[in-house]
Amino acid sequence: MRIEELEPGQEKEALAFLERDPVRNLRMVWALRRWGLFDLGLAEQGNYLAARDMKGIRGLLFLNNQGMLRLAAHGDTARALADRALSLWGMPQVLAGPEEEVEGILAAVEALAQAVEHREEEISLTLSVRDLIPYWGRAEAAIEEDLEALVALERMLQGELLGSCAAAWVIRSQLRRSLEDGSAALVRWDGKPAAKAEIEAATPRADELGGVYTVPGLRRRGFAAAACTLVCNASLARGKTVRLETQRDNAAAIGLYGRLGFKVLWPHLAVRFGSSTF
């Protein structure tokens, strides 16, 4: 087995490997399809490593420009890719993936295990068209004129969950992309923004739901469920699977998604490291 950095022109081969499991590798597929292997320093661009044998690609690693490391590999292949990434680029900020696989990497790569600073325990859920239990309500497809309303809700969401939020221009850029794709929903109550949801990453076979939020004081009225139904139904109608991650201790969110028909895929884990070089 040999490990090498991917270069522009090798996108098709990498996508053929990743799309064998389009739900698991959704974020890597999205980044590669959107940006290719060019790296202009944008957040979802970065560096790719491929592990190969005589039959072709056996595993891939992606380290984006925000220091998020993701793997499409198992066992010894995953360990070899992680070791090479450390030697090339130093300590990442975050390693994310199915819990069993992340724990396997930590057990095999001592430098990563010793640098763990925080563990974010999440759960990955998926929705198929046959499982959707729609909740139709006040949600409407968001349009360009709704951008600032969506930004305000997203800042509230990040402040509530994280205690801080990204720069307004970063949030605005991300939400504008969802608007351009027609994959954002907004609920208004008494003329004011009350709830939202959007597809944060779209690929040919799977989409990722995110940004689900309802203003405090207006919760438990079905607003988030209506927003989720609107954007998920559009993805499902195109023959896709919808995936999301949420915190394992967020009983309200898990209950909401369960009522819409989402099923548990696996425990998800995001590990943050100290002594990052990013």
pLDDT of res. 44: 86
Cα distance between residue 13 and residue 26, in whole Å: 16
Query: What does the pLDDT read at residue 275?
Result: 63
**H/E segment holding residue 157:** helix 147-162
User: What does the block give as tokens for 11?
Assistant: 């996108």
Instruction: Supply the pLDDT for residue 170.
Output: 83
* 3-state SS, residue 71: strand
Report the chain (278 residues): mean pLDDT per 10 consecutive residues: 95 97 97 93 92 95 96 96 97 97 96 96 97 95 96 94 84 90 95 96 97 95 97 97 96 96 97 74
pLDDT of residue 153: 96
DSSP, res 236: H
Tokens of residue 123, six digits: 């759960």
CATH of 2-122, one of 1.10.10, 3.30.1360, 3.40.630, 1.10.1760: 3.40.630
Q: Is CATH 3.60.15.10 the right assignment for the domain spanning 132-261?
A: no
Residues 42 and 174: beta-carbon distance below 8 Å = no
Token pair of 96 as six digits: 């994310």
What are the domain boundaries of the chain?
2-122, 132-261
Helix, strand, coil percentages (3-state) for the chain, rounded to 5, are: 40, 30, 30
Q: What string of DSSP letters covers 213-230?
A: EE-TTS-SSSHHHHHHHH
Residue 2's H or E segment, with its range, is strand 2-5
**Cβ(181)–Cβ(33) under 8 Å?**
no
Same topology between domain 2-122 and domain 132-261 = yes
What span, in angstroms and rounded, lies between the C-alpha atoms of 157 and 114? 32
Phi-psi region of 227 (alpha: psi -120 to 50; beta: other; left: phi over 0): alpha
Pairing outcome for strands 56-64 and 46-53: antiparallel
Whole-angstrom distance, CA of residue 133 vs CA of residue 95: 33
Asked if 113 contacts 104 with a C-beta cutoff of 8 angstroms, the reply is: no
- Cα–Cα distance, 56 to 270 (Å, whole number): 29
